[in-house]
Amino acid sequence: MQPITVYWRPNVPNPAKVIITLEELGIPYIGKFVEHADLKQPAFEAINTNGRVPAIEDPNTGITLWESGAIVNYLIENYDTEHKISYITAPEKYHTLQWQHFQCTGQGPYWGQLAWFQLFHHEPLESAKKRYVDEAIRIVKVLDKALEGRDWLVGDKITYADLAFVSWGSSLPLFLSDREEWNIEDHLNFKRWNDSILGRASVKKALSLAKEEDVKG
Amino acid sequence: MQPITVYWRPNVPNPAKVIITLEELGIPYIGKFVEHADLKQPAFEAINTNGRVPAIEDPNTGITLWESGAIVNYLIENYDTEHKISYITAPEKYHTLQWQHFQCTGQGPYWGQLAWFQLFHHEPLESAKKRYVDEAIRIVKVLDKALEGRDWLVGDKITYADLAFVSWGSSLPLFLSDREEWNIEDHLNFKRWNDSILGRASVKKALSLAKEEDVKG
């Protein structure tokens, strides 16, 4: 098998989702670092017209693909043939998709807005911060409840859905560090699950790729 | 085939995505209206622990499922056996997934924040409005460019990916009506495509279900 090319940047959550999946499945890859200034330039837009990382090129199939969730689905369908981190049985297969979509549409965009208004927006907007603090904690509560008495979101093994949450999950304490609404000890199922995923070798590797250079796996 | 139960509300975009898919595929369904006050109550949270519509129950398979994107994927995989609005060939199958994810993670959440700060937030926050006006128009530009010389996002037929964009697409002029940055005539590929999807019988039906009652299809 030829290595898959992954266009990536460190310190943003979505490329890490793809690298974690590649690591878990033992798929060879070459991670090509993309400068921020190059994302919206013609050369990279020819790969991803949306001008974002991650994107992949798979020389084994000839496909070019972007959107981290779709890339993960592609990798699972083509390369998780032993169902190490996925299911082929119903309803587990569809419940895994369901939690993946909750990560992509609920956690990712809303925790992203939380990070923006807490850390980066050029003026302090307390009511906007409050909106996203509350929504981020609501999402933690949904996960905490779903994980009551369970190790993983679906069935009895870790899946790509659990793994998808961790790159934002690793940053949440930073985003909420000044907020009295937040106490991780209020959400012990979430904490146990998040810590467990953070301890995996694939995750440690993906989240430690902080340098602005090409990487390999 | 027994009808699929769809938990829904009018005037929110995501249930419409599911109803459009059911209509396109000719799948019988019963739409059960959920009062806003009931979304976060135990009876409905037993169906969707995230307390949101849509959710489905399919008596033909016994599955209960939420997240509109995952529901659409489930319906396609189980009931679009003639590939009316999907592909089984690569790369088309994965490019359809890619554009679906762009809708779920890019258009939906960001146009949702635009609607929130333009129409509903309790204080006017111009810099937050500006953030989402710019991002909404950026997303239109990505679609406009992708649709240059093409009728549909993937291949030569409409797919569930094109259809997924229309329920937010129908509301965009309302969200941007007071903004000088917005002129639909600057985005003629997007306009042609959006108008074409709005003209479909499935879409007309789903977007006209404005009453707070149970529906059938």
At A64 the three-state DSSP class reads strand
Tell me: pLDDT of A9 over 80.
Answer: yes
Q: Does B192 touch chain A (CB under 8 A)?
A: no
Is A113 close to B108, i.e. CB distance below 8 A? no
Identify whether the C-beta of residue B27 lies closer than 8 Å to the C-beta of residue B60: no
Instruction: Detail the DSSP E strand segments found in chain A.
Output: 4-8, 29-33, 55-58, 63-66, 215-216
Q: Does B98 touch chain A (CB under 8 A)?
A: yes
DSSP readout, B41-101? SHHHHTT-TT--S-EEEETTTTEEEESHHHHHHHHHHHH-TT-SS---STTHHHHHHHHHH
- Helices B126-146 and B188-198: crossing angle, nearest 10°? 80
At B159 the three-state DSSP class reads coil
ipTM over 0.90: yes
Is B69 close to A146, i.e. CB distance below 8 A? no
CATH topology of domain A92-200: Glutathione S-transferase Yfyf (Class Pi); Chain A, domain 2 (1.20.1050)
> If you ran DSSP here, which 8-state letter would residue A40 be given?
T
Per residue in A68-113, pLDDT (tens digit) is 999 999 999 999 999 999 999 999 999 999 999 999 999 999 999 9
Per residue in B94-126, pLDDT (tens digit) is 999 999 999 999 999 999 999 999 999 999 999
B33 membership: H or E segment, kind and range: strand B29-33
Read off the tokens for B30: 């019963």
pLDDT on residue A131: 98
pLDDT on residue A211: 76
Per residue in B50-102, pLDDT (tens digit) is 999 999 999 999 999 999 999 999 999 999 999 999 999 999 999 999 999 99
Tell me: pLDDT of B153 over 80.
Answer: yes
Closest CA–CA distance from residue B212 to any residue of chain A (Å): 26
Q: Could you tell me which chain B residue has the CA closest to the CA of A123? A: B127
The answer for A 10-49 residues in CB contact with B (under 8 A) is 49
Q: Does B104 touch chain A (CB under 8 A)?
A: yes
Per residue in B7-30, pLDDT (tens digit) is 999 888 999 999 999 999 999 999
In sequence order, what are the residues at sequence separation of 6 or more whose Cβ sits closer than 8 angstroms to the Cβ of residue B180? none
> If you ran DSSP here, which 8-state letter would residue B2 be given?
P
Q: Which of A66, A101, A122 sits opposite B69 (nearest CB)?
A: A101
Read off the tokens for A60: 């084994």
Identify whether the C-beta of residue B101 lies closer than 8 Å to the C-beta of residue B72: no
pLDDT on residue B130: 98
pLDDT on residue A217: 81
Q: Which of B67, B74, B101 sits opposite A70 (nearest CB)?
A: B101
Q: Does B105 touch chain A (CB under 8 A)?
A: yes
Question: β-strand B29-33 against B4-8: which pairing, if any?
Answer: parallel
Tell me: pLDDT of A50 over 90.
Answer: yes
Higher pLDDT, B176 or B212: B176
- Domains of chain B, residue spans: 4-83+202-216, 92-200
Closest CA–CA distance from residue A94 to any residue of chain B (Å): 7
Instruction: Compute CA distances A40 → A43, A53, B107, B167, B190, whole Å.
Output: 9, 11, 18, 28, 20
CATH topology of domain A4-84+202-216: Glutaredoxin (3.40.30)
Average pLDDT over residues B156-175: 96
Average pLDDT of chain B? Answer: 96
What residues of chain A lie within 8 A of the CB of B49, using their CB? 142, 145-146
Average pLDDT over residues B40-48: 96
Q: Which of B50, B64, B113 sits opposite A142 (nearest CB)?
A: B50
The closest of B68, B80, B74, B103 to B193, measured between CA atoms, is B103
Is B102 close to A50, i.e. CB distance below 8 A? yes
**Intrachain domains A4-84+202-216 and A92-200 with the same fold:** no
Average pLDDT of chain A? Answer: 96
Is B50 close to A94, i.e. CB distance below 8 A? no
CATH 3.40.30.10 applies to domain B4-83+202-216: yes
Size of interface A-B (CB pairs under 8 A): 111
What residues of chain A lie within 8 A of the CB of B51, using their CB? 142
Confidence of residue B211 (pLDDT cuts 50, 70, 90): confident
The answer for B 49-68 residues in CB contact with A (under 8 A) is 49-51, 61-68
Q: CA torsion sign, B10 to B16 to B18 to B19?
A: positive
